[in-house]
Chains A and B, each alone.
Chain A
Amino acid sequence: MGTTAKSFSHKYNWIKEIIIEKLFLLCALLSILTTFGIILILLTETIGFFQEVSLIKFLIGTRWSPLLVPKSFGILPLINGTLIITVGAAVVALPLGLASAIYLSEYSSPNVRKIIKPILEILAGIPTVVYGYFALMFITPIIQDLFPNANIFNAASASIVVGIMILPMVASLCEDAMRGVPQSLREGAYALGSTPLEVCTKVVVPASLSGVLASFILAISRAIGETMAVTIAAGMTPKITLNPLESVQTMTAYIVQVSLGDTPHGTIEYQSIFAVGMTLFTMTLLMNIGSQMLRQKYREVYQ
């Protein structure tokens, strides 16, 4: 009774349609596989690591010396190194990025925006190894001129450069968040006699706050994961310090250091890459999830 969907006289091949559909599904599932792969590999080696090193000593130990005897695997110096760079970068990038975003979204004319936005994109596209070069060859001498007791490898130089690196991200995401604020809200404030500054600080920024915060968190997460600039400019000495003029070592730089050397597979030094990598992955993952939740909340408000 009537044509069935699968008669052979049809001009299109429903089998082909289904195969193609499943192929595309496979591509999408690959992404889940990647995540599983990362977690699986990190976990496996990390568990091996923690069979030799106590977890507590790892988390709260203050000496990181995996190669020199007496070996010690306290990760706090590496976290300290990462954090001091990150805080320094945040000090540079967050205020400047937010201010640039405000300028682009509230003040500038479309012509100005057409010039500035590509420049920010170029800044974002410069490879990190180039930033490392700039830090070591240009910024560090300046710092050494200003502070004669600064080490040639210092945290300040690297954090300035990492800050510049994440600034475009902050500016662009904040600007998106601010442009998402409905024009009607601004108009309401203007109609009451507010100046642009007041509209901006009292209406726009508060309204886009979760988007702004989400962008901050995302940028900080990027700073935490930054590798080459800190490897080149910040040094290879893990220590706990608050002085940005000293050399430090970040988690990422440590991983690079071990890979550059001749570390045989299966040794504790090799496994330490994974333990540190796990810590790094966890930190950035938590921050990214936090940022996503904030952005979700922001989207709910305006839709």
Chain B
Amino acid sequence: MKKNITSRHYKGDLFKILCGISTIIALIVLALLLWDVWNDGHSWINLGFITNFPSRFPERAGIKSAIWGTIWLMILVTLISFPLGIGAAIHLQEYARKTRLTNIIEINISNLAGVPSIVYGILGLALFVRTLQLDRSILSGALTMSLLILPIIIISSQEAIRAIPTSIREASYALGATKWQTIRNHVLPYALPGILTGNILAISRAIGETAPLIMIGALTFIAFTPISLNDPFTAMPIQIFNWISRPQEEFHFIAAAGIIVLLVFLLTMNAAAILIRNKYQKYQKW
């Protein structure tokens, strides 16, 4: 019996080590990736890189138009998808009764969240660029990306709203508040930190997406920053992709530099999301 126990413990320890190693592999890969990108690209980052437009010459190539394109996209996508997504979440959590229609909507949203981003690109191409004749404009890009992240915004907003205990709503109703008064004065304000956190993370995913923008025709040699919604545009991932595809080796390093800028962008957004979550969770000890 004792030998059996020893060997069982031994196997158990071995298993535990294997699992631990598996977990560490993920960390190692992340470290390698970041090191590789930094190594390749950091020497190419200078003020010129940030303020120049793309060029045929690596020394003069810059990411300015791509940064502006990404910022424009970010703002537009936020303006379009936040109200729609939060609105849908409010409907599903506060108004909708458990009917078949509600069930269908929720399953539908779940499926949409799993549709590959390139399919959204196809949708955007056919619907916004061609049918609505918005052409390869930044508006088309923003609309397409909004559709892409809308399911995620809805799901994460729903979760934030669901986290608010029923007792708070009951207290409000018992005082004679209407549904909208309850939502406006209690549900939304208390859910807002959670909603914002989830939505900022969704937007940062949108910023990193390339495929849908390629589909709707974001160009890669834009030597200006967009001024109106109808202008053609580029974005950081597109520019990076373009530089990777060039044969000259210097452009690969420039691509790495662009990646560093993009990652800094994303890091900032994620940090903002976490800060919001931490700052406002203090008084909500559900």
**Given A125-B270, A130-B263, A284-B114, A24–B237 Cβ distance below 8 Å?**
no
The CB with the most chain B CB atoms within 10 A, among A164, A226, A259, is that of A259
Taking a contact as CB atoms under 8 Å apart, the answer to whether B210 and A129 are in contact is yes
| Choice from A125, A130, A281 contacting B115 with Cβ under 8 Å | A281
| Choice from B19, B87, B95, B116 contacting A99 with Cβ under 8 Å | B19
Taking a contact as CB atoms under 8 Å apart, the answer to whether B116 and A224 are in contact is yes
Q: Within 8 Å CB of B86, what residues of A?
A: 27
**Given A103-B19, A120-B26, A224-B116, A31–B179 Cβ distance below 8 Å?**
no
**Given A23-B87, A252-B118, A280-B118, A227–B180 Cβ distance below 8 Å?**
no
**Given A37-B127, A103-B19, A224-B116, A273–B208 Cβ distance below 8 Å?**
no
Q: List B128-180 residues whose CB lies under 8 Å from chain A.
A: 130, 147, 150-151, 154, 178-180
| Choice from B105, B118, B119 contacting A31 with Cβ under 8 Å | B105
Q: Does A208 sit at the interface, judged by CB under 8 A?
A: no
Bound state CA distance, A222 and B11, in angstroms? 34
Taking a contact as CB atoms under 8 Å apart, the answer to whether B244 and A133 are in contact is yes
Of B42-50, B53-61, B226-234, B254-262, the segment with at least 4 beta carbons within 8 Å of chain A is B254-262
| Choice from B201, B215, B262 contacting A255 with Cβ under 8 Å | B215
Distance from B281 Cβ to chain A, minimum over Cβ atoms (Å): 15
Taking a contact as CB atoms under 8 Å apart, the answer to whether A132 and B244 are in contact is yes
Of A60-68, A193-201, A239-247, the segment with at least 4 beta carbons within 8 Å of chain B is A193-201
Main secondary structure on A side of the interface with B: helix
User: Which B-chain residue is minimally distant from A20 (CB atoms)?
Assistant: B180
Bound state CA distance, A32 and B110, in angstroms? 11
**Given A24-B88, A125-B270, A288-B111, A100–B26 Cβ distance below 8 Å?**
yes
Q: Does A180 sit at the interface, judged by CB under 8 A?
A: no
Q: Does A12 sit at the interface, judged by CB under 8 A?
A: yes
Q: Jot down 26 A-B pairs with beta carbons below 8 A, ordered by A.
A: A21-B95, A21-B179, A30-B150, A31-B150, A32-B104, A34-B112, A35-B108, A37-B127, A38-B120, A38-B123, A103-B23, A116-B23, A119-B27, A129-B240, A129-B241, A129-B244, A134-B37, A171-B26, A195-B9, A195-B11, A195-B12, A225-B119, A252-B118, A259-B125, A260-B214, A277-B119
